[in-house]
């Protein structure tokens, strides 16, 4: 369905920006996770905000001043004026809705639109005339207008373009990044027509200090999001492929990158595990839509295959190092430091560290996993992994630095040595997936060291 670019009926013209600024109308943020919470907190400093999430436990944590995402911190949660709720009827009190629910993929790598469809149903049941609904969830081009709008219309009985309007503004939150924050990242905004675009832009400009970029259409904004993450995915895949080849050549990949980086136009990408809810997922949305139109992706799909296979590649090299150190593979004690998909955040969604663990299990190895950021119950429920405290690590044959948490970077050489079962470091294996350790120092102390 193509949203018609009709003006609101006379007497119902859009003027939400002024109403929101004067606190006569409220903003509702649907989905209080790593994306929704920062934008909700930011808007709550300028406007009346309703924070809605279906997860009652999470809502109660927020009400108690606890931030399980670690994105904004307990202090910000405690002092915010936002109203937290899991009661969808509260959404009737808002006229500017921001949808920030996850958009994962199914086991067959096809888009799973269930969360965004569910959010559209919830909003539709509580939508009032004169409202704007802005979707931030990553989708392939066309989802906002062709999937979400019909649901909003059906559930509300209202007409899009006449009674309410829609827009799309892709999230650009970088979990765990305290430098590139919501306020200083340019925000792409779009609307179904010029009137809605201007209102959406002005509302976001209340909190986005870096300013906004007005996309020419909703589909352009949707495409920009999947493309910017697909581009990063392809570049990392290229480095991962080089890392696999250099490993066969006995060449250190990081040394090559540092040498190459002396040229002014070199791209600063490193090999690694590519998981999470964005880069490890978004390319599949693009691939899916392209295939629906009869085009079979070549570069993007190839990059995804390379990156999806890196967990197994790391696991295979762990086994090789065990063999070279004359250790029994089946009885080896492997300690993996890090479970999250990236450093300094508790997010374990689509973590590729899990691929390393599953590959090691094929050799009857059940590794010990440590991650101070991750909720132990969540790890158990999501991946059936029991986490161990860092202070309990001992008698290891191999220690794998899988995630570059600050706590792991600060581990000293003597401390590292105490975690192994041998005083002979030549048999103590250190696997450095993120190239976060000082190679020369480890070699000085005679550790058996391998990095991606």
pLDDT computed for residue 422 by the predictor: 87
For residue 25, what are the contacts with CB-CB under 8 A and spacing of at least 6? Answer: 16, 19, 48, 94, 95, 96
What architecture does CATH give domain 237-451? 3-Layer(aba) Sandwich (3.40)
Sorting pLDDT into bands at 50, 70 and 90, what band is 275? confident
List the chain domain ranges. Answer: 16-216, 237-451
Question: What is the spatial distance between Cα 101 and Cα 41, in angstroms, rounded to a whole number?
Answer: 16
Distance from CA of residue 434 to its chain's centroid?
Answer: 18
More confident residue, 214 or 71: 214
What is the per-residue pLDDT for 273?
Answer: 95
The CA angle 315-320-429, to the nearest 5 degrees, is 85
Which pair of tokens denotes residue 256? 């090559």
CATH superfamily of 16-216: NAD(P)-binding Rossmann-like Domain (3.40.50.720)
Model pLDDT, residue 71:
83
| 6 — pLDDT class (breaks 50, 70, 90) | very low
Q: What is the pLDDT of residues 16-27, one digit of tens each?
A: 999 999 999 999
Question: Is 60 exceeded by the pLDDT of residue 4?
Answer: no
**Section 101-130 average pLDDT:** 94
Q: Percent of the chain scored above 90 by pLDDT?
A: 84
Q: Which of 62-71, 314-323, 347-356 has the lowest mean pLDDT?
A: 62-71
Neighbours of 15 (CB within 10 A): 13
Q: Hey, what's the torsion of the CAs at 160, 161, 165, 167, to 10 degrees? A: 100
Other Cβ atoms within 10 Å of 363 Cβ, number? 15
Catalytic option among 148, 160, 278, 398: 278
Q: What is the reported pLDDT for 177?
A: 65
Please tell me the distance from the alpha carbon of residue 436 to that of residue 113, in angstroms, as a whole number.
37
Q: What is the pLDDT of residue 431?
A: 97
pLDDT of 7 over the 80 cut = no
Dump pLDDT digits (tens) for 397-438.
999 999 999 999 999 999 999 999 988 888 999 999 999 999
Q: Give catalytic status of residue 398 as yes or no.
A: no
Instruction: Provide the greatest CA pair distance for the chain.
Output: 82
User: How does pLDDT run across 40-84, given as a tens digit for each residue?
Assistant: 999 999 999 999 999 999 999 999 999 988 888 899 999 999 999
Summarize pLDDT for 160-186 with one digit per residue, the tens. Answer: 999 999 999 999 877 666 667 788 899
Q: What is the Cα–Cα distance from 7 to 196, expressed in whole angstroms?
A: 9
pLDDT value, residue 175:
66
Question: What is the percent of the chain with per-residue pLDDT over 70, rounded to a whole number?
Answer: 96
């Amino acid at each position: 369905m193509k949203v018609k670019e009709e003006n609101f009926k006379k007497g119902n013209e859009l003027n939400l920006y002024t109403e929101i600024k004067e606190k006569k109308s409220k903003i509702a943020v649907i989905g209080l996770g790593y994306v929704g919470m920062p934008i909700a907190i930011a808007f709550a400093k300028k406007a009346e905000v309703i924070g809605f999430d279906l997860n009652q436990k999470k809502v109660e944590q927020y009400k108690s001043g606890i931030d399980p995402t670690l994105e904004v911190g307990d202090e910000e949660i405690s002092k915010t004026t936002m109203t937290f709720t899991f009661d969808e009827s509260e959404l009737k009190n808002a006229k500017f809705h921001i949808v920030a629910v996850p958009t994962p993929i199914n086991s067959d790598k096809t888009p799973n639109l269930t969360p965004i469809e569910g959010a559209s149903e919830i909003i539709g049941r509580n939508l009032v005339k004169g409202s704007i609904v802005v979707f931030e969830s990553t989708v392939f081009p066309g989802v906002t207008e062709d999937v979400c709008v019909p649901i909003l219309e059906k559930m509300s009985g209202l007409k899009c373009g006449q009674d309410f309007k829609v827009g799309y503004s892709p999230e650009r939150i970088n979990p765990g990044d305290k430098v590139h924050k919501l306020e200083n990242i340019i925000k792409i905004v779009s609307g179904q027509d010029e009137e809605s675009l201007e209102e959406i832009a002005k509302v976001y400009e209340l909190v986005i200090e870096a300013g906004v970029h007005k996309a020419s259409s909703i589909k352009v904004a949707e495409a920009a999001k999947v493309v910017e993450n697909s581009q990063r995915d392809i570049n990392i895949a290229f480095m991962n492929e080089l890392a696999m080849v250099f490993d066969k050549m006995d060449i250190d990949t990081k040394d090559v990158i540092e040498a190459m980086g002396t040229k002014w136009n070199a791209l600063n990408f490193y090999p690694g595990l590519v998981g999470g809810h964005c880069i490890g997922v978004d390319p599949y949305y693009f691939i899916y839509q392209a295939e629906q139109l009869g085009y079979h992706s070549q570069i993007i799909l190839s990059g995804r295959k390379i990156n999806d296979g890196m967990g197994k590649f790391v696991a295979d090299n762990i086994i090789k190092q065990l063999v070279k150190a004359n250790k029994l593979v089946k009885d080896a004690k492997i300690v993996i430091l890090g479970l999250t998909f990236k450093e300094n955040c508790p997010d374990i969604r689509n973590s590729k560290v899990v691929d390393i663990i599953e590959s090691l299990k094929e050799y009857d190895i059940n590794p010990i996993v440590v991650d101070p950021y991750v909720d132990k119950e969540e790890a158990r429920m999501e991946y059936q992994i029991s986490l161990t405290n860092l202070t309990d690590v001992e008698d290891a044959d191999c220690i794998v630095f899988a995630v570059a948490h600050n706590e792991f970077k600060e581990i000293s050489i003597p401390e590292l040595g105490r975690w192994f079962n041998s005083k002979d470091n030549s048999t103590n294996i250190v696997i450095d997936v993120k190239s976060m350790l000082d190679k020369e120092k480890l070699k000085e102390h005679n550790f058996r060291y391998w990095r991606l």
